Chains A and B, each alone.
Chain A
Amino acid sequence: MADQPQGCARVTGKPMGDSSPPAPGPETPELKKEMPMTARVGQKAPDFQAPAYYRGKFTSVKLSDYIGKWIMVCFYPGDFTFV
């Protein structure tokens, strides 16, 4: 996985269908109009792409790249929290 150039813009992940204006910077995700943005069991998961840290490198991760595999997405309140 390629190491990506790092800018100083406040980068963030976003759903693939999000139409809000993208922040400047090399990590700006590709946008495309797609599915409605709600998560329910039995429904397709909202696709997203986000900057990520992975095994010593800064990269980006996209949910739909894992179609064909089981995947677990885990949200948590924040780094350096205690639980």
Chain B
Amino acid sequence: MSAVADKYKVLQDLGVEVISVSVDSHFVHKMWNDNELVKMVEGGVPFHMASDQAGNIGKAFGVYDENQGIEMRGRFIIDPDGVIQAMEVLTPPVGRKFSETVRQVQAFQHVRASKGTEATPAGWEPGEPALKPNPDLVGNVWKVWKPSMEN
């Protein structure tokens, strides 16, 4: 959470808005932000911290754990049409890697900008060549991309 808040500017520059969700009340969100997160992130959390005390939203997204009454670490990238393009769900003790989220956003934005005519190979980073699926590419991906190109 604080990792995302700290790098919010990066997401803003990519035109990405953020909503965080947990089963805590919005009152607890305020206390956490005002008393702890503000000491980690200058100015505190810059996006909406939503409250889902009954787990209803978590259930709809498939991340609610009824045994523990909490929500798993679930990160969903949703495109301007409201379609989920990526989801990553982790159990609580391991945090996500922010740079991978940014890479995925950039890759999905690249594909969208190409109107679906391009696809990004494994490990693709902005500036690297993307693939243009067409009949001639079938069986010939090896000519333009190899696993060793992934850094």
* Chain A residues packing against B (C-beta within 8 Å): 6, 10-15, 18, 20, 37-48, 50-55, 58-59, 61, 63-64, 66-81, 83
Contact = CB atoms under 8 A, between A and B. Distances in A.
A52 B53 contact: no
A78 B24 contact: yes
B73 A52 contact: no
A12 B62 CA distance: 17
A80 B32 contact: yes
Contacts, number: 208
Contacts of A80: 28, 32, 36
Interface of B: 1, 4, 11, 14-33, 36, 44-63, 70-87, 92-95, 101, 105, 108-109
14 contacts: A11-B25, A20-B56, A44-B81, A44-B83, A50-B51, A53-B26, A53-B29, A67-B80, A69-B80, A71-B18, A72-B4, A75-B74, A76-B20, A83-B73
